[in-house]
Amino acid sequence: MLRFIVKRIGLSVLTLVIVSLIVFLMTSIMPGDIAKQILGRDATPEAFEIWNKEKGFDKPLVVQYGRWMGGVLTGDLGTSLQYEMPVSEILAPAASKSAQLAIVALLLIAPISILGGIAAAMNRGKKVDRALTVGGLSAAVIPEFVWAVVLILVFGVAIRAFPVSAFPDEENPNLVSSVYHLILPSIALLFVLFGYISRITRAGVIEALDSDYMRTAVLKGLSRKTAVFKHVLRNALLPTIAVIATQVPYLAGGLIAIERVFNYPGFGNILLDAVIARDFPLLQTAVFLTGVVIIVFQLIADILFAVLNPRIRQKVTE
């Protein structure tokens, strides 16, 4: 098991190095000149030169990359060009905001989608199944920002049941208020992910329901309900858990549209600002950190899957 984890971590690190290179090169070739924006169109060439030198943009790319990575590794994420502030001070509160949104969304999405999938599987071929399948897939084809707008118009503007902004106005919002503000965006995300997660759950549950071991359980004299609970769910939810874990980074790392629509100061919003402002240090680090989140959660999903499945766990141990 330990060997498996170490190997996976090694691979993850390698992936991150590649990601960092790609991110760095992409942001370097991005069109637009931030110096012009900051110093103004009328600045002298000398001023540009001094500014570039000061920020280190005159150095070869390799050196710039080295400095950036070295900084990331030692905890110095660089300085934002547009805000003239350490990147970490900008990203930390945003990351925390994004994490809050992700947690609330996940707590809403995972149980509802899993229950939906189980209900569909248990009523295979019947109306409940068809309604859940058609409803789930129809909802999923509409992008989250469209849902966001619809939800705002219905629940925020027309009914006024939920706030239109995901971020409380008050100075020190309490937990209830924070969660309350995050419900509408979470529902938008639920609409997008429900179809996907419930379909995977449904497939897993059906496979387990049709399995020989389910037959054994029923022929042992277990009631269908007990047999499903004790024998089906554990096997059926394995793939679901992995799928949900792979959706976490999507939720935590870049809900640009949702954050924009709900005016939420999360990671996605910062990212978008950085792109518009050509704020390389901020952009590079933000994109890179998104990659870190994705890879870490993929790693967690893999390990979780191995731990839950004795067959893989054993292969891994041998």
Partner 1 sequence: MTTTPTLELRNLEVAYTVRGIDRQVLRGVSFSIAPGEAYGLVGESGCGKSTAAFAAMRYLPRNGKITKGSILFEGKDIVDINDDEVAKLRRSAISMVYQNPATALNPTIRVGKQIAEVFELNGVSSSDAMMMAEQALTKVQIADPARVLRRYAHQLSGGMAQRVVIAMALASNPRLLVMDEPTTGLDATVEAEVLDLVRELRRDTGTAVLFISHNLGVIRNMCDRVGVLYAGALVEQGATSELFSSPSHPYTVGLLRCIPRGGLHKSTDRLDTIPGTPPALGTNFDGCVFAARCSLADDKCRTALPEMVTIIGSHVARCFHSDKAGSMPRSIEQIEYAPQSTGHKAQVGDTLLNISHLSKVFNQDGSKVRVINDVSLTLGFGETLGLVGESGSGKTTIAKLVLGLTPPEEGGVVTLDGKGLAKTLSHRDVADVGAMQIVFQNPDQALNRRHSVTRIVSRAVERLRKFSLTAAIARAQELLSGMRVDASLHSVRPVQLSGGLKQRVAIARAFAGAPQIVVCDEPTSALDVSVQAAILNLLVDLQKKDQTSFIFISHDLGVVRYISDKIAVLYLGRVVEFGTSQRVFSGPFHPYTEALLSSVPNIDGSTRKRIPLTGVVPSPSNPPSGCVLNPRCPRKAGSGYETLCETEEPNLTEVEPGHFMRCHVPVAKLKQLQN
Q: What x/- string results for residues 224 through 263 when contact with partner 1 is judged by CB under 8 A?
A: x-----xx--xx--x-------------------------
Which position among 40, 60, 75, 221 is part of the footprint of partner 1 (CB under 8 A)? 221
Q: Which of 223, 263, 276, 307 touches partner 1 (CB under 8 A)?
A: 223
Query: Shortest approach of partner 1 to residue 306 CB, angstroms?
Result: 12
- Please tell me what DSSP assigns to residue 212: H
Amino acid at 161: A
7 binds partner 1 (CB under 8 A): no
State the nearest-atom distance from the C-beta of 220 to partner 1, in Å. 6
Q: Is 215 in the site for partner 1 (CB under 8 A)?
A: yes
Q: How far is the CB of 311 from partner 1 (least distance, A)?
A: 5
| CA angle, 270 then 297 then 235, to 5° | 140
219 binds partner 1 (CB under 8 A): yes
Distance CA 256, CA 254 (A): 5
- CA atoms of 158 and 56, how far apart (whole Å): 52
Burial class (CB in 10 A: 0-12, 13-18, 19+), 29: exposed
Query: What's 278's DSSP letter?
Result: T
Q: Which is nearer to partner 1, 180 or 305 (CB)?
A: 305
Nearer to partner 1, 58 or 213 (CB): 213
Written as one letter, the residue type at 306 is: A
Tokens at residue 81, please? 């060009």
Check binding of 203 to partner 1 (CB under 8 A): no
Place of tokens 């387990």: 208
84 part of the interface to partner 1, by CB under 8 A: no
In terms of C-beta density within 10 A (0-12 exposed, 13-18 middle, 19 or more buried), how is residue 164 classed? middle
Residue placing its CB nearer to partner 1 in the complex, 36 or 224? 224
Residues at the interface with partner 1 (CB under 8 A): 211-213, 215-224, 230-231, 234-235, 238, 308-311, 314, 318
